[in-house]
Chains A and B, each alone.
Chain A
Amino acid sequence: MNELERYQDPLTIQRVLRTASTIAIVGLSSNELRASHFVGFYLKRHGYRVIPVNPRETEVLGDASYASLLDVPVPVDIVNVFRAPDALPQIARDAVAIHAGALWCQFGVINEEGAGIAEAGGLTVIMDRCLKVEHARYAGRMHWFGLNTGRITSVRAGLQ
């Protein structure tokens, strides 16, 4: 677990969440009950542009789905991965090729080779963390459900 900590730095996570506006979700499903759909729906609701990347889908959450990252016609800030860990090296190569800002791998999507490719290509890598949870922790309403955000601060928040 300790080797993963360098991919889970809270300051890096907050910076990536704050600076991003376009998120390509690799493996986004149109099935409303899948975790990827929960995350895509949530991110869209919170103002991010969400781009589905999934060759098995034509349209997800009202937007056209692309077969590959290489087909996405706009700049991508975060590549968010919902795929088996062994798919990560190729996804990382594609993410480097399109000059994405960050590679964000969900819970259990752990592959050091893929992380290394992305880092060598200049991307910020976050691994074994959920994009929805981290947004809800720092900017959302996760605390309304009694979940442990781990946050301790006396700074007054903005309106929610």
Chain B
Amino acid sequence: MTGERDRPEEARAFGFETRQLHAGQRPDPNTGARAVPIFQTTSYVFEDPESAAAYFNLQEYGNTYSRIMNPTVAVFEERMGNLEGGAGGVAFASGIAAQAAALFTLLQPGDHVVSSSALYGGTVNQFKHLLRKMSVELTWVDPDDADAWRQAVRANTKAFFGETIGNPAGNVLDIETVASIAHDHELPLIVDNTFATPYLCRPIEWGADIVIHSATKFIGGHGTSIGGVVVEAGTFNWSNGRFPVIADPSSAYHGLEFHETFGTYGYLMKLRAETLRDLGAALAPLNAFLFLQGLETLSLRMQRHVENARAVATFLESHELASNVTYPGQPGSRYRPLVEKYLPRGAGAVFSFDCAGGRSGGQELIRGVTLWSHLANVGDAKSLIIHPASTTHRQLSDAELEAAGVRPGTVRLSVGTETIEDLIWDLEQGLGRIR
């Protein structure tokens, strides 16, 4: 065995703040570079024909082509896998691509998915339209209703899907309960953990099998890059008879049985070697570098995001022109018990409220604010504001809007890390324009 010959490594349970800085990266063996090098290369020179064959056969971990793997992207993938407590990660060019890939890896035509109805509008579109094109059926359930999850299961069901904190209505998923119902039926639970980040909640610790992120949000944290990642726990039994697409010999990979051959890493290897290879939505190395820069300060930013979000929610609750403040961290929230269990460090920094005056009231507030940025994103260090009914959730019917917790006057906030008095000042003067 070559490598660090004289330095055996003790098994220490390093803390989150240490791991957000170090996991996935050691100083570059060639140059000693302490920062993660940006490997801006499409491809990699093979040592010899035998090595090239071993890499393509997956008999050896080797770099072949940056659509499938890249050393900078790999640091980001391992760091996310480590922070979430999973077996590893595979990164994608966007959160939506990561989500599609996570599903494509385990689905085939004729399958069925059970999903929370309280989701990001882009996810609703993907499930409603793209999954239908693949001949995959879908059942929406009220995420707060355990019986609804149980009753939606069919013989062809292949996964449960939900968000840790629902976008934008702030539903908190009872992860342990929903995971246990999924496992009763030998199904995996997929959780979108974008709004919580692994600093606030680690769904795998509560039984989730696959965790998805839009890294575009709090992971990057500065609104610079689009990207996503899939983390898998490595503990789900894909050979239970329900998942021939993972367990059986793969016609897309010369007969390889991914779960039998790679065990813990079977799903992740298939996700990379087949789904990423064939969908092609690879994360750019520079974007992975920017996400890694973001991760280095994740805990510090999230503490401040949560502190500011609490203060803004408290201010809005006492304002006469605001109602239905959905911040699940507030003492009066019906999700308070779930927040105490799953999100003890805070319930994130994205929530919505309803403006007096309905649609025009919401639009008037957005016209009135000057510090909050009117744009379609969340999780930036800068505070953001948007009117879902006319933007992110525009393609949804009234009934779907209602199921997602969106009304005509609903405004969504992503509370940033600015001086809290300035954020409240700006909302106050914006609300003052509603007449």
Contacts and interface: CB of A to CB of B under 8 A. Distances in A.
Contacts of A158: 2-5, 29
B32 to A, nearest CB: 6
Nearest to A106: B263
A99 interface: no
Contacts of A34: 261
Nearest to B272: A145
Interface in A36-56: 38, 41-42, 45-47
A18 interface: yes
B381 interface: no
Contacts of B78: 143, 146-149
A58 interface: no
B54 A41 contact: yes
Contacts of A148: 23, 78, 81-82, 86-89
Contacts of A15: 8
Interface stretch (B11-19, B163-171, B189-197, B338-346): B11-19
A135 B8 CA distance: 13
Interface in B1-52: 1-5, 7-12, 14, 18-19, 22-24, 26-30, 32
A156 B88 contact: no
Secondary structure at the B interface, as helix, strand, loop or mixed, is loop
B5 A160 contact: no
A122 interface: no
Given A145-B88, A152-B23, A156-B26, A35 B7 contact: no
A142 B262 CA distance: 12
Contact of A146 (B57, B77, B261): B77
B256 interface: yes
A11 B26 contact: no
A153 B3 contact: no
Interface stretch (B67-75, B292-300, B366-374, B424-432): B67-75
A33 B81 contact: no
B1 A33 contact: no
Interface stretch (B58-66, B125-133, B218-226, B396-404): B58-66
A158 B27 CA distance: 10
A146 B272 contact: yes
Interface in A54-84: none
How big is the B interface, by class? 35 or more
A110 interface: no
A142 B26 contact: no
A4 to B, nearest CB: 14
B9 A145 contact: no
Given A15-B8, A146-B268, A33 B255 contact: yes
Given A15-B8, A151-B26, A153-B9, A45 B263 contact: no
A148 B29 CA distance: 19
Contact of B62 (A18, A135, A144): A144
B264 interface: yes
Most A Cβ at <10 Å: residue of B9, B54, B58:
B9
B22 A154 contact: yes
A14 B5 CA distance: 9
A157 interface: yes
B90 interface: yes
A140 B29 CA distance: 12
Contacts of A17: 1
B10 A159 contact: no
Interface in A108-160: 130, 133, 135-136, 138-160
Contacts of B22: 152-154
B257 interface: yes
Contact of B9 (A10, A47, A135): A10
B306 interface: no
A138 B24 CA distance: 12
28 contacts: A11-B10, A14-B8, A18-B8, A20-B1, A34-B261, A38-B261, A46-B1, A46-B2, A130-B263, A138-B3, A140-B3, A145-B74, A145-B265, A146-B24, A146-B74, A146-B268, A146-B272, A147-B78, A148-B23, A148-B82, A148-B88, A149-B78, A151-B9, A152-B18, A154-B27, A157-B27, A158-B5, A158-B29
Given A10-B10, A141-B60, A153-B9, 19 more contacts: A10-B9, A17-B1, A33-B254, A42-B60, A133-B264, A138-B1, A140-B61, A144-B63, A144-B74, A145-B69, A145-B265, A146-B69, A146-B77, A146-B88, A147-B268, A148-B82, A149-B78, A150-B82, A156-B29
Interface of A: 9-11, 14-15, 17-18, 20, 32-35, 38, 41-42, 45-47, 107, 130, 133, 135-136, 138-160
What are the nearest 3 A-B pairs in CB distance? A146-B77, A147-B88, A139-B3
